[in-house]
Amino acid sequence: MTASSAALVPQDAPSIEVEAAHHAAAVEALVDRAFGPGRFAKSSERLRETNQKLDDCSFVALRGRTVIGSVRLWPVTIGGKPVAFLGPLAVDSEQRSAGLGQALVEAACEAAAKAGWRAVLLVGDAPYFSRIGFSSAPAARVVMPGPADQRRVLLKALVPGGDEGFEGRVAVR
Ligand SMILES: CC(C)(COP(=O)(O)OP(=O)(O)OC[C@H]1O[C@@H](n2cnc3c(N)ncnc32)[C@H](O)[C@@H]1OP(=O)(O)O)[C@@H](O)C(=O)NCCC(=O)NCCS
């Protein structure tokens, strides 16, 4: 950034950046605050606890050096076919409704597409994620590794037809 363009950016404007190792503790604290103690009971957690996140597809929202939002992607398979699994997505309660959640999901999906992933899977609220291109229809035959409301199992294609033909159990890759 040049000195003149830096002058145009408000000091406290949030930015979206790839998550670095030094953000991890703040991300954990943010996700704990957003989801509470029940977060580890979710079936989504079964796909994360023995997995390693996709470092190039996991992002933080920062205000200055403070982590105010986070999204992570994970490598999983559905019936043996690879797919990127998104979650958790969290934005600090003081910073919501400014588009950060959507911007984080879009950054993660764009990075996943660049990395060659064909689709992104998540478990979440369809009214929110349908605005960002996720749909329950192509995920009707996707089986989470634990109890999950099937209407909340959502897929987004990253390439034409990329969300088609997924069937079977979701497993750590
Ligand atoms: C969901 C979450 C990440 C959204 O972050 P955000 O930065 O506020 O998101 P955006 O600014 O892109 O979108 C905000 C809009 O989505 C709406 N919205 C938020 N959660 C929603 C939900 N579960 N269902 C439907 N709409 C929702 C908000 O009301 C807001 O609407 P408005 O623009 O009319 O005010 C944030 O509310 C959060 O961290 N929640 C707790 C954790 C969580 O539920 N994560 C997602 C689980 S998969």
- Pocket of ligand 1 contains residue 173 by CB under 6 Å: no
What pLDDT does residue 38 have? 84
- Pocket of ligand 1 contains residue 138 by CB under 6 Å: no
Measure the CA–CA gap between 44 and 144, rounded to whole angstroms: 8
Domain interval for residue 124: 8-172
Does 1 reside within a domain? Answer: no
Low-confidence ranges of the chain (pLDDT < 50): 1-6
Closest C-alpha to ligand 1, atom 4? 101
Contact indicator for 30, 90 with CB cutoff of 8 Å:
yes
Does 3 reside within a domain? Answer: no
- Pocket of ligand 1 contains residue 128 by CB under 6 Å: yes
Closest C-alpha to ligand 1, atom 35? 97
Can you give the CATH number for the domain in which 102 is found?
3.40.630.30
Does 2 reside within a domain? Answer: no
Domains held by the chain: number? 1
Q: How far is CA 96 from CA 14, 50, 78, 104, 118, in A?
A: 12, 30, 32, 12, 29
What pLDDT does residue 35 have? 94
Which of 128, 129, 154 is the pocket-test mutation for ligand 1 (most atoms within 8 Å of CB)? 128
What pLDDT does residue 1 have? 44
- Pocket of ligand 1 contains residue 91 by CB under 6 Å: yes
Does 13 reside within a domain? Answer: yes
- Pocket of ligand 1 contains residue 161 by CB under 6 Å: no
Which of 44, 95, 97, 100 is the pocket-test mutation for ligand 1 (most atoms within 8 Å of CB)? 97
What pLDDT does residue 10 have? 55
Does 76 reside within a domain? Answer: yes
What pLDDT does residue 2 have? 46
47-76: string of b/e by CB count within 10 Å (b at 16+)? bbeeeeebeebbbbbbbeeebbbbbbbbbb
Half-sphere exposure of 154 (CA within 13 A, CB side): 19
Q: Name the residue with tokens 């999901």.
A: 105
Task: List pLDDT tens digits, range 12-40.
Answer: 899 999 999 999 999 999 999 999 988 88
What pLDDT does residue 11 have? 58
Closest CA to 95 of 42, 33, 36, 37: 33
Determine the distance separating the centroid of ligand 1 and the alpha carbon of 128, expressed in angstroms. Answer: 6
- Pocket of ligand 1 contains residue 109 by CB under 6 Å: no
